[in-house]
Amino acid sequence: MAAMPLIQVQVLEGVYTAQQKQAIVERLSDAMVEIVGEDMRRLTWCIVEEVASGEWGVGGQALTADDVRALARATAAGGPE
């Protein structure tokens, strides 16, 4: 049996819509198939796992869904990245 590629993505709960998570699955699967070949599409697994808001830390600080949304707004407005 061929090895089955597994793509695991962790995101903060409440940040991404169902449609965005579906796009993550589709595009990451497409990228893997581009690398390993179309025959592997049906064997490629992609898991989007949500981590509870506040249970993810960056730089020693807990990060919440509100923090991520505020960062996205600032970045979209041309603020610091």
Q: What pLDDT, on a 0 to 100 scale, did the predictor assign at position 3?
A: 78
By residue range, what is the domain housing residue 14? 7-76
0.85 surpassed by pTM: no
DSSP assignment string, 25-44: HHHHHHHHHHHH-GGGGGG-
Tell me the pLDDT tens digit for each residue of 8-28. Answer: 999 999 999 999 999 999 999
- Is residue 56 one of the residues assigned to a domain? yes
- Is residue 25 one of the residues assigned to a domain? yes
* In contact, 22 and 63? CB cutoff 8 Å: no
- Is residue 1 one of the residues assigned to a domain? no
- Is residue 81 one of the residues assigned to a domain? no
How confident is residue 79, by pLDDT bands cut at 50, 70 and 90?
Answer: low
* Distant-in-sequence, close-in-space partners of 71: CB < 8 Å, separation ≥ 6: none
- Is residue 2 one of the residues assigned to a domain? no
pLDDT of residue 2 exceeding 70:
no
What's the total number of domains in the chain?
Answer: 1
CATH of the domain at 66: 3.30.429.10
- Is residue 29 one of the residues assigned to a domain? yes
Q: What pLDDT, on a 0 to 100 scale, did the predictor assign at position 75?
A: 85
How high does pLDDT run on average in the chain? 91
